Homo-oligomer: A and B are copies of this chain.
Amino acid sequence: MSIHAVAKKAGVSVATISRVFNNPEKVSDTTRERILRIVEELGYTANLSARTLRTNRSKALGVILPTLLNPVFAECLNGIALEAARHGYYILPLTTNYDVRQEEQAVSHMLASNADGVILVVSNPFDSKALVRLKQSNTPYMLAYNRHDVHPYVSVDSEAAIISLVNHFYQLGHRRIAMASGTLHASDRAQQRYKGYTKAMAALGLTPPPLIEIPFVTSVIDALVDTLQSDQRPTALICSNDLLAIRAIRAAHLAGLSVPADISIAGFDGIALGQELTPSLCSIAQPNEEIGRLCVEKLIGAIHAHHDLTPHDSALLPYLLHHGESCAKATTLL
Chain A residues in contact with chain B, CB under 8 A?
43, 45-50, 52-53, 58, 67-69, 71, 74-75, 77-78, 81, 90, 92-93, 95, 108-109, 111-114, 133, 136, 243, 246-247, 249-250, 253, 272-273, 276-278, 280
Contact = CB atoms under 8 A, between A and B. Distances in A.
Report how many copies the assembly holds: 2
A138 to B, nearest CB: 11
A200 B47 CA distance: 50
A293 to B, nearest CB: 15
Nearest to A95: B81
Given A49-B114, A68-B68, A250-B278, 17 more contacts: A43-B136, A45-B108, A46-B112, A48-B112, A48-B114, A49-B52, A49-B58, A50-B53, A68-B77, A69-B74, A71-B71, A74-B74, A78-B95, A243-B276, A249-B278, A250-B276, A273-B273
A50 B48 CA distance: 11
Q: Which of A67, A109, A246, A273 has the most CB of B within 10 A?
A: A273
Secondary structure dominating the interface of A: helix
19 contacts: A45-B112, A46-B112, A48-B49, A48-B114, A49-B49, A49-B113, A50-B53, A68-B74, A68-B77, A69-B71, A74-B74, A93-B93, A246-B276, A246-B277, A247-B276, A250-B276, A250-B278, A250-B280, A253-B278
Q: Nearest 4 A-B pairs (CB), nearest first?
A: A49-B52, A45-B112, A68-B74, A49-B53
Nearest to A81: B95
A74 to B, nearest CB: 4
A77 B95 CA distance: 10
Contacts of A253: 278
Contacts of A247: 276
A53 to B, nearest CB: 4
Contacts of A43: 133, 136
